[in-house]
Structure 1
Amino acid sequence: MCDDLIYKPQFSSQDVEILQQQTLYRGFVQVESVTLRHRLFATRQFSANIHREIVRRREAAGVFVHDPHLKKFLLIEQFRAGAMNLADTPWQLEIIAGLIDAGEDAETCLKREALEEAGCHIEQLQFVSRYHPSTGASDEIFNFYVATADLSHCGGIHGEVSENEDIKVHLFDYEQLEALCQQGYFRNAPLIIAMQWFQLFLIQHEKT
């Protein structure tokens, strides 16, 4: 590891004290009430007691799939309850994604989800990043991958009926990316991050 680090955290998890923890709800997600205190930047002393509610979710993974031969990329569209308050539509364009099952790794999860959500076979996955979508109130971790695939036979409506999924597959040309960005329908973090990766990918390949 490089000794000349640009940034190094001042504190670690050892600088947080959990004083009380209670499960408020347990369902598809789990909600916990936590009382804690943590060290302060200026004094390194502990703060006053802080009360927070945390949504706990299983780790998730997502994959952006494109076809360099056809110069097309794949997105899916489905209804999302969390977007119901949007004025125009609660249906979201997304990358293929899902929760990682017990005993499953991220790549196995994504190969399964690609078949379920898009009828798409993917083999080689490239890991890009692992991040928290919203640390203010959730402990969810999202693993982002990229994959290439033959998209010549992908399309239609997919999803697991037992999970009430109704998913439409969209194929777009590489050259449509900029116009899609300008339309304003990229509205969730995994998709926006994937599109930023893809823009860099296209720029790099224009130079070669």
Structure 2
Amino acid sequence: MTEASIDLRDGESRIRIDARETLFSGFRTYDLVTFAEANQATGLVEPDDSAQVLTRELLVTHRTAAVLPYDPKSGDIILLRQFRLAAHLRTGRGMMIEIVAGAVDAGEDVEAAALRELTEETGLVAETLHWAADFLPTPGMADEYATLFVAPVDATAFHAQAGTDEDETIFPFRVSLEDAIAAADAGFITNGFTLLALNWFARHHARFVDLQDA
């Protein structure tokens, strides 16, 4: 049992940034950051002259909107198959099982981006979104910040292929939540966004069952 006095929130950090430069800018941008962190173990709240100076490469990315489409009438969800080069190079299984996700455009709010990505990647349209979680997918190397939504949809209207206008090949498909969870539990699904969404929805999906008649 967790002691009541333990604070389980992410904590504030204090650093001093001494330099930041762009190493490469292409499809992705990489920066080199030189910084010093306050030694909070000694009670310091700001880095002092004795603080160790570190350098880290940072993948500079974007705000991300992610969506798990769910059909309350059938109980099915919509997932995607999409090629990922990094997955292919690491595991040989580059056609990953994914959820809808994409970058929030400049001047766009995250909810609008989620609805846009849903239609672009599945052909589906949702009238409402339900916030599920905010998360940092890979904070050890990237500054990506994502928000996951659940979107009630009519799953019969999904497109068999999408994304070709953005040089992506995306294959949406319909599956029961139970089968998706079983595949995740068996280790067949390795995409982090998908695993997070399925595990969250497995715990909370009961609240969405009656949305079709709401």
Is TM (by shorter chain) over 0.5?
yes
CA contact (8 A) 1:116 1:160 kept: no
Point out where structure 2 has 5 or more consecutive residues left out of the alignment: 210-214
What is the match of residue 204 of structure 2? 201
Q: 1-side partners of 2:59 and 2:22: how far apart?
A: 10
The one-letter code of the counterpart of 2:36 is R
Over 3 Å counting, the alpha-carbon distance change for 1:10 and 1:105 in structure 2 is closer
How far off its partner does 1:8 sit?
Answer: 7.3
Question: Which deviates more, 55-64 or 150-159?
Answer: 150-159
The reply on whether 1:16 has 2:15 as its aligned counterpart is: yes
Residues 83 and 153 (structure 1 numbering): CA distance in 2 closer, same or farther, change over 3 Å?
Answer: same
After TM superposition, the runs of 4+ consecutive aligned structure 1 residues lying more than 3 A away are: 8-13, 202-206
Distance 1:201 1:42, change over 3 A: closer
Once residues 37 and 185 of structure 2 are traced to their aligned partners in structure 1, the CA distance between those partners, rounded to angstroms, is: 42
| Corresponding residue pairs, total | 201
Q: What is the TM-score of this pair, normalised by structure 1?
A: 0.87
- Indicate yes or no: 2:131 matched with 1:127: yes
Identity of aligned residues (%): 28
Work out whether 1:117 is the aligned partner of 2:121: yes
The alpha carbon displacement at 1:62 in A equals 0.2
- Is 2:71 the counterpart of 1:67? yes
2:174 aligned residue: 171
Distance 1:183 1:155, change over 3 A: farther
- TM-score when scaled to structure 2? 0.85
Q: How far off is 1:141 after superposition?
A: 0.4
1:7 aligns with 2:11: no
Rounded to whole Å, the distance in 2 between the matches of 1:122 and 1:93 is 21
Aligned to 1:80: 84
Contact 2:184 2:190 in 1 (8 A): no
Deviation, structure 1 residue 26: 1.3
Report SS of the residue matched to 2:91: coil
CA RMSD in angstroms comes to 2.3
How far did residue 189 of structure 1 move? Answer: 1.7
